[in-house]
Amino acid sequence: MSTWQNEHSFRSWVWANLVSATLAFFLPLSPVERAVILALGLLILAAELLNTAIEDAIDYISTDEHPLAKRAKDAGSAGVAVAALAAGVAWVVILIG
């Protein structure tokens, strides 16, 4: 997969998800809690893939800086951040709940 080879951030999220999934299986979580953690981890990876697609498409179209291109790239990155925040919130709620 070219994303694995070319995107450090994707590889970082894969490793973070492996740690998260390992914890989800070793901690005494309910099946629903475990499913939420695993699903949100996959959501982060999906968001990162979409962000990479947006960035690659924009870079393919033009290397010139443009405000709309910047907004699109920023929105893609923000999507990854929101997905990661959701996963973090889920972990916090599960661990303190």
Instruction: Return the exposure string of 67-93: e unless at least 16 CB atoms fall within 10 Å of the residue's CB, then b.
Output: eebeebeeebbebbeebbeebeebbee
Round to whole Å and give the CA distance between 48 and 39: 14
Prediction pTM value: 0.93
The domain containing residue 85 runs over which residues? 2-96
Q: Report pLDDT digits (tens) over 36-56.
A: 999 999 999 999 999 999 999
Q: Report pLDDT digits (tens) over 11-40.
A: 999 999 999 999 999 999 999 999 999 999
Query: What's the structural domain count of the chain?
Result: 1
- Which residues are catalytically annotated? 48
Q: Report pLDDT digits (tens) over 58-81.
A: 999 998 999 999 999 999 999 999
Residue 73: CATH number of its domain: 1.10.287.3610
Q: CA neighbours within 13 Å on the CB side: how many for 70?
A: 4
Give the orientation angle of helix 67-96 with respect to helix 8-26, to 10 degrees: 10
